[in-house]
């Protein structure tokens, strides 16, 4: 009898377990738990299910391994349970870059007074005008050396340095800064903050980036400090047309990016996905004037490092000088036909500066340079950068085409005059 009673009890336990499994199988893959208030809460399981918030606005599919938290008792709609999903956004390359490089990018505020001048106004001499502006900078050395653009620390009307410079670090700390040196020909400058602590230094990459790779811009557009935008490298060896004056030399051999660049980004960093600086942001095509969207430019890091080191060590920048003007576009079949040229590749010498290094070496107007020290030359912007980075007194062997004849001319590089505009190299 006792044995039969035990058998009956065991049978009832099995039946209860089976009924429990059937009930669980009717809950669409979710485990149902009744709270003391009588409501139900649902957690995600390994089976995919559609989860809707209490206001019905979210349709999120939860899969195996996803994280959810249970909703409080009574938080249900139309008799269904309502879990709250923990957001898990996809990682962006800009996220890691911002964490690594962000502390090395600073905001720069400048003030000054433009001297009184009649400036041709009909009502006599104008009173002095106070001005203020903002830009960005990148920490170059731990002792407080910071790289920015020359136009950030220069009075745009007089060309003189600004009166005061204040730097705000990523930590929010504001520091006074002084001008170490500036170079209008590359639109670069170095300033130094007064600090007793070591600052976080950015890493710079000497090699040019690849077209299509990620590009991240960090700066202070419109004063929004440490703003981060993501894009790609859109092109290399770019030249901005229509720029005049001594500073125009900066706008050749640039990196083009579609990472949004706005006023205030000048002097900030353009970085690769590894958080290394590939360029210093310098300009962009204004959409309201050009109709262009997301076309920005940066000075390559190799130029930046070269200029910064010279400014820190000597306070000035010495650049190579050839003494020629170049046709601004690379040669092609159309240009060859238009000018009745003998070849459709290389750079065309449109003018020779009298008594300059090129004239002394025998270079002539109309010559086509297609090799420099054995390397193929196809782009005027890249050729300008090559000459600019050479030391005065060094020599460059140019292979040229003159009326269909191939000649070799060796030019001793001169020192570029500080007032020389971009068309003369």
CB 382 within 8 A of CB 328: no
pLDDT, tens only, 343-367: 888 999 988 989 899 999 999 999 9
pLDDT band of 129, cuts 50, 70, 90:
confident
Residue 101: what pLDDT?
Answer: 96
Same-domain check for residues 101 and 78: no
Q: d(Cα 256, Cα 150) in Å, to the nearest integer?
A: 19
CATH number for position 222: 2.40.10.10
Question: Which of 85, 110, 135 is the last residue in one of the domains?
Answer: 85
The question of whether 67 is a catalytic residue gets the answer no
Any domain includes 314: no
Half-sphere exposure of 192 (CA within 13 A, CB side): 13
Q: d(Cα 319, Cα 253) in Å, to the nearest integer?
A: 15
Domains of the chain: total: 4
pLDDT, tens only, 138-159: 999 999 999 999 999 998 888 8
Same-domain check for residues 60 and 139: no
Q: Please give the residue that has the higher pLDDT: either 411 or 27.
A: 411
Same-domain check for residues 391 and 339: yes
The question of whether 338 is a catalytic residue gets the answer no
**Which residue among 187, 258, 367, 401 is the active-site one?**
187
Cross-strand pairs, 60: 51
Domain range for 17 is 2-85
Question: Which of 85, 109, 138 is the last residue in one of the domains?
Answer: 85
**Which residue among 136, 266, 302, 325 is the active-site one?**
266
CATH number for position 393: 2.30.42.10
**Which residue among 30, 151, 234, 248 is the active-site one?**
151
Most confident of 3-7, 101-105, 352-356, 363-367: 101-105
| Mean pLDDT value of segment 152-173 | 92
Q: How many whole angstroms from its chain centre is CA 33?
A: 52
């Amino acid at each position: 009898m006792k044995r039969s009673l035990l058998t009956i009890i065991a049978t009832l336990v099995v039946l209860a377990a089976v009924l429990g499994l059937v009930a669980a199988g009717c809950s669409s893959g979710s485990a149902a738990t009744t709270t003391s208030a009588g409501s139900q809460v649902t957690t995600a399981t390994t089976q995919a299910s559609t989860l809707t918030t209490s206001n019905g606005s979210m349709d999120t599919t939860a899969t195996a391994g996803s994280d959810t938290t249970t909703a409080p008792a009574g938080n249900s709609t139309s008799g269904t349970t309502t879990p709250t999903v923990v957001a898990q956004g996809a990682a962006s390359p800009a996220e890691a870059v911002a964490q690594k490089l962000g502390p090395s990018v600073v905001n720069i505020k400048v003030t000054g007074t433009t001297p009184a001048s009649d400036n041709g106004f009909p009502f006599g001499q104008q009173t002095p005008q106070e001005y203020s502006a903002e830009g960005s900078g990148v920490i170059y050395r731990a002792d407080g050396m910071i790289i920015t653009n020359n136009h950030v620390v220069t009075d745009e009307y007089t060309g003189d340095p600004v009166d005061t410079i204040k730097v705000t670090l990523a930590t929010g700390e504001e520091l006074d800064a002084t001008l170490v040196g500036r170079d209008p020909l590359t639109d670069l400058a170095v300033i130094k903050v007064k600090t007793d602590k070591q600052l976080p230094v950015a890493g710079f990459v000497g090699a040019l980036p690849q077209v299509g790779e990620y590009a991240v811009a960090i700066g202070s557009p419109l004063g929004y400090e440490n703003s981060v935008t993501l894009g790609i490298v859109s092109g290399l060896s770019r030249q901005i047309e229509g720029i005049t004056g001594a500073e125009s030399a900066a706008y050749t051999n640039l990196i083009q990016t579609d990472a949004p660049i706005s006023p205030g980004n000048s002097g900030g960093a353009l970085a690769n996905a590894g958080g290394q600086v590939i360029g210093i942001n310098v300009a962009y095509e204004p959409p309201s004037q050009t109709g262009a969207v997301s076309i920005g430019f940066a000075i390559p890091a190799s130029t930046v490092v070269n200029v910064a080191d010279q400014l820190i060590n000597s306070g000035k920048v010495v650049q190579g000088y050839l003494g020629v003007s170049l046709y601004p576009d690379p040669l092609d079949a159309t240009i060859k036909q238009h000018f009745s040229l003998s070849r459709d590749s290389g750079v065309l010498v449109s003018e020779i500066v009298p008594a300059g290094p090129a004239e002394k070496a025998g270079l002539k107007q109309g010559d086509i340079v297609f090799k420099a020290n054995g390397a193929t030359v196809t782009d005027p912007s890249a050729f300008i950068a090559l000459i600019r980075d050479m030391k005065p007194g060094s020599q460059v062997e140019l292979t040229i085409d003159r009326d269909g004849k191939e000649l070799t001319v060796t030019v001793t590089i001169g020192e570029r005059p500080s007032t020389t505009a971009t068309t003369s190299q």
